[in-house]
Structure 1
Amino acid sequence: MAFALTIDGKPAPASETFAVIDPATGREFAQCPLATVAQLDQAVAAARAAFPGWAALPIEQRAAALNAIADALAAECDDLAALLSQEQGKPVRSAAGEIQGSIHWIRTTAGFRPEIERIDQADGSRAEIHRKPLGVVGSITPWNFPVMIAIWHVMPALLAGNTVVLKPSPSTPLATLRMVEIANRHLPAGVWNVVTGDVEIGSGIAKHPGIDKVVFTGSTPTGRAIMRDGAANLKRLTLELGGNDAAIVLPDADVEAIAPQIFQYAFGNSGQICAAIKRVYVHDTLHDALAERLAALAAAAKVGPGSDPETHYGPVQNRRQFDYVRALADDARAQGGRFLAGGEPLAGDGYFFPLSIVVDVTDGHRIVDEEQFGPVLPLIRYSDVEDVLARANASENGLGGSVWSADVSRAAALAQRLECGTAWVNSHSKISPDVPFGGAKQSGIGVEFGMHGLDEYMQLQIVRLPAGAA
């Protein structure tokens, strides 16, 4: 299959390509076109030219285009899922779930409608609060959910009347290129453009004077760099950055009931989820029982190639992340940590690391303090609730957190004291297209999803009208 950039509604050839690696083998399986800075400029110019006409359309017409894109992606779901699985590593059924989830997200987003707010004044005049599109939005997406996160970024931008230049991760560009090609059948030329590349193109988007806003999902250091690069023209920013989510298990929790859920929310997508559980603080009275139960679940999980129907969990997506996860596991062992399951890479080709449970580690160890973004979960003992809350909040990250207890009211009260953007009770990682999601502290700026997320793609304009105005 040949792949192309999409600029101004047309396939754009590239003079150079780069290799895309199958993480199940560690070997190249495709070549991807590599955009130049000049092509980025062309994409921005196309988006700027398309902006006035797209913004002028009634929102119902823009919503209809979004729904047409959803229909088109549904028709191509199987092929997109196979491609996504090969480049990202997740099982094909999980990749299909990502495509289907993206379609659901599109349809929900297409139903949002910003309202004109009215504030009446004592003298009979009034102020109206209108929302207008910003212009050109630059989207930079990661490799863990490349299709879904592109949809999170792009659909509210388009609905609000903006045009888009998207750059996918160079580790997982292919399904995104194909998705944008499909979407452009239902959009005016220039409304949604896609270019590829690494730091040069990403930095080019952040610095570009023709881009009015950047939305980025990825690491906190890269988010800081985007803030610096975007300062020249005061770009609006939405940044969903790193997380090191803590789960606190209170002493009244039911181990048998919660173990499968904690396991699911820690190891989904092989732990490569921003808001996965990354560290579990367990009361002394439950620690050993929960650790034993989680280890049994990890040992029973099938890790393998995404193309194998029996695979539950795929490989780590790329060599760099694989080496990082391995280094954290090695450091945990050196610090006295005991692996009750996993802990060493699997033999053979590819970036396979087993689902791993480690105990006898604590705060100050890398495996606890750093975001693993991979299939290694530390369990940390505690005895005092106030102490464990302070430890959970000591991280510079604040994406999510959860409290697990038979007493929902007590758990909710504690959850509200977590310093994070989303706090769950007896759950974790669950998100919805109509509920805002974003990070606190070093985990980001702004929110995505729902009307609050849509607001991030619009500029308020206050219109003040005299008394008696219609």
Structure 2
Amino acid sequence: MSVAEFLPPPNLDGNSIAKGASQTVEGMFSKAYGAQLTWSQLPIKERIARLKPLRSLLVKNRKRIADSILVPSRQDYRETIASEILPLADCVQWLGRRARKILEPRYSHRRFTPFWLGTIRSTIFRVPHGIVLIIGAGNYPLFLTGVQVLQALVAGNAVAIKPAPGAERTSQLLVELLVESGIPQELLVLLDSDIHAGEQALEAGVDKVVLTGSSRTGRSVLKMLADSLTPATMELSGCDAVYVLPGADLIRVCDLLLFGMRLNGGATCMAPRRVFVPRKLSEVFHRLLSERLRSDYAKNWRTVVPASVHKRLWDAVEAAVGQGAKIFSDSPRGSLPSVDRIEHAEHAHSSTVRIGPVVLTDVLPTMAICSMDLFAPLLLVVPVEDWSDALLADSKCPYALTASVYGPLEDAIRLAKYISAGTITINDTIVPTADPQLPFGGRGESGYGVTRGDEGLLEMTTPKVVSIRKGKWLPHAQVPQPADEELLDGLLQLAHSGSWIDRFRGLQQTLQAAFKSRRQN
């Protein structure tokens, strides 16, 4: 099956903007702002209730959803359930249980209000941004985009969705299910998938941007946002690290490495890439990994990558081998990124390539391949002396999305404190991040800000503080007096001096200054 067959033209209608449509982005945004104003005034409980039916709708429409997800690297329906539909339904359930508590107003505490401020009471509200533009990912088009849409809506925003090429049908179906669930259609603006639709939306003006994509795309979008100072959450690429400690269960390590490499055909931003293995464990580790790569399943396993990705991968492998890295497999077909079949397409990519696992050993952390974001089944084994050597090797890579540590629990927890990454899994990989309670985001080239969890929901809002002055005491509104300087200096000593004697002196000075000021009045 060709990618052209994977990607039929999207049937966009209703509240959507396709190429050549008469509706303008500005016109659709104007309607969305009107709907958002009404939506944001609803109690959070009501907004959550509108989303509750979505869980059963996801179950009811699971086959339609799976058929709409045309990711060439996706292996089967099982992967779609586990990596897209199930975690999105879990997110709906979690929002129903937690969103109201997370977004409720917070009040200043009298105990922590500086005494010299007097009787001030403040409330911190979480208010929506307005229109949130979500620039979706192509590798997990339902889950990643869906979670961001749900959190934006619960927070009181309208949403504009710019799908990735190939994700049009999935995004259209997501919008349909949301409307069926009870979300006002005017709140949801579905853009075309080409780059110009995203540019038009940015030019029209949005209030927040959430991007899932490459660091190069992130930089391009941020340049467009600079003039308007529009806030953004950047969930960008990864080239994730794996630390193998002495005492690690190497069978478990190898099994999970192959799982991470195969998941979604390697097109996962947090897939394990750079594996730091102590030299004294190398022999056993290589033997166990080789046994798994020689299994019938591994030898026959193939995935599909765009030809452009294949070329980047092939060039990087050749460069690494030229610098001393070794291709690790008994089967060239199973290790080299050789072309099994090229398929031409008219939509997302000019062609695709079928490849098997690509595993390199004796890799140096300074090699270019250790700093690349490649959506391919790639594993790089980097020999190290100890965990401090591994940390130094890891620091050579500009990406810091997730990391995995394998070894005795106490040692792994101790090491995790020093690893630069947004998420660290211990004795597991990828799967724990599906917990809807957990925020997800990276550092460095992997972006900033988070999605999901409490923190991701809060990012869909901005704080608004309302302070109320009670009583008639307004010393700052009075005409300045000569004793004011002495009074303030005394207050500073009284409140923050390091010794009780100095604080007592501050109290004396404050009282004397207050008495002088009163006499002058």
| TM > 0.5 fold call | yes
1:404 aligned residue (393, 403, 406) = 406
| CA deviation after TM superposition for structure 1 residue 138, in Å | 0.3
2:392 aligned residue (384, 390, 393) = 390
Do the aligned partners of 1:43 and 1:194 also contact (CA within 8 Å) in 2?
Answer: no
| CA deviation after TM superposition for structure 1 residue 124, in Å | 3.5
* Residue aligning to 2:336: 343
Deviations 1:233-289 (A, max 9, x none): 221211111111111112222212322123223432122111111110100011232
Question: Residue 277 of structure 2: SS of its match in structure 1?
Answer: strand
Question: Residue 224 of structure 2: SS of its match in structure 1?
Answer: helix
* Residue aligning to 1:459: 462
Between 1:339-348 and 1:369-378, the stretch displaced more is 339-348
Question: Residue 9 of structure 2: SS of its match in structure 1?
Answer: strand
Question: Residue 138 of structure 2: SS of its match in structure 1?
Answer: coil
Do the aligned partners of 1:26 and 1:349 also contact (CA within 8 Å) in 2?
Answer: no
Do the aligned partners of 1:301 and 1:355 also contact (CA within 8 Å) in 2?
Answer: no
* Residue aligning to 2:505: none
Rg bigger for which structure? 2
Amino acid paired to 2:92: I
* Residue aligning to 1:256: 251
Do the aligned partners of 2:316 and 2:368 also contact (CA within 8 Å) in 1?
Answer: yes
The alpha-carbon distance between structure 1 residues 292 and 39, as it changes in their structure 2 partners (threshold 3 A), is: farther
* Residue aligning to 1:66: 51
- Counterpart CA distance in 2 for 1:87 and 1:104 is 25
Deviations 1:275-334 (A, max 9, x none): 111110100011232233223323437489xxxxxx976423x33323333333333334
Question: Residue 185 of structure 2: SS of its match in structure 1?
Answer: coil
The structure with the largest helix share of the pair is 2
Number of residue pairs the alignment of both structures matches: 437
Matched, 1:115 2:104: yes
Amino acid paired to 1:227: L
- Counterpart CA distance in 1 for 2:292 and 2:194 is 37
Matched, 1:374 2:376: yes
Do the aligned partners of 1:329 and 1:376 also contact (CA within 8 Å) in 2?
Answer: no
Amino acid paired to 1:457: M
* Residue aligning to 1:129: 124
After TM superposition, list the pairs within 5 Å mapping 1:324-363 onto structure 2. Answer: 324-341=312-329, 342-350=335-343, 351-363=353-365
- The Cα RMSD (Å) is 2.4
* Residue aligning to 1:35: 19
| CA deviation after TM superposition for structure 1 residue 440, in Å | 1.4
After TM superposition, list the pairs within 5 Å mapping 1:61-460 onto structure 2. Answer: 61-85=46-70, 89-97=74-82, 98-111=84-97, 112-113=99-100, 114-119=103-108, 120=110, 121=113, 122=115, 123-185=118-180, 186-209=182-205, 211-300=206-295, 302=297, 314-316=303-305, 318-341=306-329, 342-350=335-343, 351-406=353-408, 408-429=409-430, 430-431=432-433, 432-460=435-463
TM-score, normalising length: structure 2:
0.78
* Residue aligning to 2:508: none
Do the aligned partners of 1:242 and 1:371 also contact (CA within 8 Å) in 2?
Answer: yes
Amino acid paired to 1:115: E
| CA deviation after TM superposition for structure 1 residue 85, in Å | 4.5
TM-score, normalising length: structure 1:
0.86
Do the aligned partners of 1:281 and 1:382 also contact (CA within 8 Å) in 2?
Answer: yes
Deviations 1:356-396 (A, max 9, x none): 22112212223222122210101011113322211102221
Amino acid paired to 2:211: F
The alpha-carbon distance between structure 1 residues 379 and 320, as it changes in their structure 2 partners (threshold 3 A), is: same
Do the aligned partners of 1:35 and 1:197 also contact (CA within 8 Å) in 2?
Answer: no
- Counterpart CA distance in 2 for 1:427 and 1:361 is 23
Between 1:454-463 and 1:122-131, the stretch displaced more is 122-131
* Residue aligning to 1:25: 2
Do the aligned partners of 1:303 and 1:352 also contact (CA within 8 Å) in 2?
Answer: no
Do the aligned partners of 2:3 and 2:72 also contact (CA within 8 Å) in 1?
Answer: no
- Counterpart CA distance in 1 for 2:361 and 2:234 is 33
Amino acid paired to 2:10: C
